[in-house]
Structure 1
């Protein structure tokens, strides 16, 4: 797994005043369509059965396909009917899911011992998910507004006015204070309950480092790299850990074969997803004409598939006792 500092070190150039052309800022998100980002959820049809120690059956695969069709389909319709509300749901679901992914990494991969209770783990999910979803709003409100406008504008440009309350200085100030108190409380309680300081230092170091990362790196760049190299890669590691073929390869020192196995598993539904993305581009009321608008369409599609993906990952959490 890519070490934490690989992401956090991206802060350094921006501290030095480096600026990135707008055309390049969207590149990491574009690349995520085929590299880890979209593919990391394309193994959901196999993931739950493997987490239970079983081989996926056609019935199990059909259940996941039905889940995506019903839940994802209903959410896709919501974007057409109430795009501003759908955008808020996207932020909240992604907040939970990205925090959920970090909780698994802390508990199962890092082996932390200071997250002793369910309330602590819920608070950790809130803190970790808030790093990519809230900190950019506090540091780059105009960028956040621009992305919201691009997404909602694909369906109803005037609907974005329903989101303007979130960009008011007093609202952002209240969110900053509340989130800051939560971060401090989670880290202090964790320190008090830690049997070993080193895992707590990892948790605290990642949290503080990511706060700096999302506060200083332009949001589109920051989210693009985080999506691929932090969230998605960690989830891929989780998938490899429940795949007997991949585990055997890793135990033999053949990591390349393990990742090739993941790529083979993910390829069919990644291609299906790209085809569906193309279909979505034909039916949105305002077809994208610029790179930001095309990326906005991609993010809408990511939103649609994230909701059923969260259901799958939540079942995996239960099977793997993440909340125990």
Structure 2
């Protein structure tokens, strides 16, 4: 469970380059129009973001060391699309509940991805077992999902409302009211407790194992990301994180597995499903793709439909690779 040299340092450079570069642009981004803030989401459609899940149907064959066979591949693709269709039906039937569920699922999934990355980077010596790794995932997922909620509730509510309205135009107001009804102070206190418990537990284990390096690197990332999401507009910060942090780390996991470490080969494998997903999103949300924030909301619902089967695949990978239970 390691990242190859190029993926390791390239991934860290992209992730921290995106964070630090964005922080340097804070004054310019603070008053930037939505068209500028949405640029990471626009680019994510073809660069890193959407493509990071586009090779999911190939993963079971690669992990089992089996040759690619058309019949099983077709069945996997049908199951993948069927689950995505069920998700879209849920968005149509209960848009507010679906929007909240997507936020919580993303919290879990992005935390899940960072737990794998901590282990692959060798930064997990202070994580003693499954319970502490679950807490690590909760903390890491809270940074992109909860910090913007506490620091920028109005913008957060606008985006969640746009998601709820993608298939049900009347769903925006209920979703906005729900988000704005959460006191920022409660979110900040909850985050403080969560991160405080995590830091103290890590310090206890780190002292026992003399794992100060891994603890320091982990908490440095947590602190840096907390500032990143608190200071920058959510539309920008979450989009940058999606592309340059979460997606890159997942591709670093997939590269050696699916494409023998070749980024070029991996991008070629991802291209057909990426283009197909974009075509489906365009067809399903043709009426909703008006206005910049509304377009982001519709795009996020399309991503939600793909995220649920993607999470199933990643959870299966975690199980096979003993991410939560292995040493």
Matched residue of 1:289: which SS? coil
SS in 1 for 2:204: helix
CA contact under 8 A between 1:40 and 1:235: conserved in structure 2?
A: yes
Separation of aligned partners in 1, 2:167 and 2:282: 16
Cα displacement (A) at 1:67: 2.7
| 2:29/2:233 contact within 8 Å kept | no
| Partner SS, residue 270 of structure 1 | helix
**Cα distance, 1:86 vs structure 2:** 0.9
Query: Unaligned stretches of 5+ in structure 2?
Result: 1-10
The alpha carbon displacement at 1:119 in A equals 1.1
What is the deviation of 1:30? 0.5
Say whether residues 1:315 and 2:316 are aligned partners. Answer: yes
Equivalent pair of 2:163/2:298 in contact (CA under 8 Å): yes
Q: Deviations over 1:119-169 (max 9, x none)?
A: 111111111111111110100000011111212122334333433233235
Q: How many Å separate the matches in 1 of 2:148 and 2:213?
A: 29
Aligned twin of 1:270? 274
Q: Alpha carbons of 1:56 and 1:96: their partners in 2 closer, same or farther (altered >3 Å)? A: farther
Asked whether the 8 Å contact 1:51–1:320 carries over to 2, the reply is no
TM-score, scaled relative to structure 2 = 0.89
Q: 1:144 to 1:268 in 2, by over 3 A?
A: same
Aligned to 1:7: 18
1 CA distance for matches of 2:163 and 2:271?
Answer: 27
Give, in whole Å, the separation in 2 of the partners of 1:31 and 1:16. 19
**104-113 or 94-103, which moves further after superposition?**
104-113
2:4 is aligned to none
- Any unmatched runs of 5+ in structure 1? 248-257
RMSD (Å) for aligned C-alpha atoms: 1.9
Residue 95 of structure 2 corresponds to residue 91 of structure 1: no
Match of 2:179 in 1: 166
Deviation (angstroms), 1:201: 1.0
Structure 2 residue aligned with 1:302:
303
Q: Which range moved further: 73-82 or 154-163?
A: 154-163
Is contact 2:34-2:293 (8 Å) kept? Answer: no
User: By how many angstroms is 1:52 displaced?
Assistant: 3.2
1:1-324 equivalence runs, <5 A = 1-3=11-13, 4-9=15-20, 10-14=22-26, 19-163=31-175, 164-168=177-181, 170=183, 172-194=184-206, 195=209, 196-243=211-258, 245-247=259-261, 258-282=262-286, 286-324=287-325
Task: Tell whether the 8 Å contact from 1:99 to 1:125 is kept in structure 2 after alignment.
Answer: yes
Counterpart contact for 2:29–2:37, Cα < 8 Å: no
Q: Is the 8 A contact 1:2 1:229 kept in 2?
A: no
| Greater than 6 Å deviation, 4+ residue runs | none
- Alpha carbons 1:149, 1:157 under 8 Å: kept: no
